[in-house]
Every structure is written in C-alpha cells, then in structure tokens.
Amino acid sequence: MLENYFPVLLFVLVGLAFGVVPFFLGRSLGPQRPDGEKLAAYECGFGAFEDARMKFDVRYYLIAILFILFDLEIAFLFPWAVVFREFIAAGAAAWFVFGAVMVFLAILIIGYIVEWKNGALDWE
C-alpha cells in the first residue's frame, strides 16, 4: 500500500531540492562582502523617509477590501461561466445554478452600493 505513495514522496523531495539546493549553492559559492551601504534600508532608490509604522488613511483599507471583494468575485464567476454550458445540457439544474449566481451577484452589488453611498470610493 505504501508503494502507491512513492511517486508523491518523490515529487515532494524533488520539489524541495529545487527550492533548497539553489539557495545553499548561492549562499556557499557567492561572495560574502557585507558593508554598511548594502545592509541599509532601501526603498525605491532612496533612504527611508519616515517610520515604517506611520498611520494610513482608513479609506486605503476600504479600497483594498473592495479590490479583494471583486477579485474573489471574478475567481468565482470565471469557472462558473466556463462550465455553464454543461449545466444547460444537464437540464433543470441550469436554472438553479443561474439563480444562485444571480443571488451572489446581487449581494455583491448591494455591498458595492453601500460602499459607494458611504463614500469609500470618494478620494479628496
């Protein structure tokens, strides 16, 4: 029974080797000459201007949440659209699947309208 898992074990070991071996080769064969300039904080070619713990505007987080929301919407809708013809060929289940996706879209649209009305999309 365990011989059935040998290809999986081999796959995991080869994958680990592809990730770990180049790291250690570069670490052992590469030059090690650290200095103050190489170890300094680097941001877009300039030194860091402010503390990394500065406060962000809350609207930034709202936009980020909206991005994640609509990104996940596409992640769910694309596979559904790809296999919808198969649901149509199956018969009556197609209307149930279509209705479920319309409810999903309606919830997302309501969330988008609420965010719009609350001013999350208005930048000053």
- In sequence order, what are the beta bridge partners of 46? 43
Give the residue-averaged pLDDT of 96-104: 88
pTM flag (> 0.85): no
Q: Tell me which residue of 63, 82, 85, 62 sits closest to 74, measured CA to CA.
A: 82
- In sequence order, what are the beta bridge partners of 115? none
**Region of poorest pLDDT, from 12-21, 24-33, 47-56, 82-91:** 47-56
Who wins on pLDDT, 53 or 87? 87
Give the residue-averaged pLDDT of 82-105: 83
Assign a CATH topology to domain 2-117: Methane Monooxygenase Hydroxylase; Chain G, domain 1 (1.20.58)
Task: Output the average pLDDT for the chain.
Answer: 82
- Give me the pLDDT at residue 55, please: 75
Domain ranges of the chain: 2-117
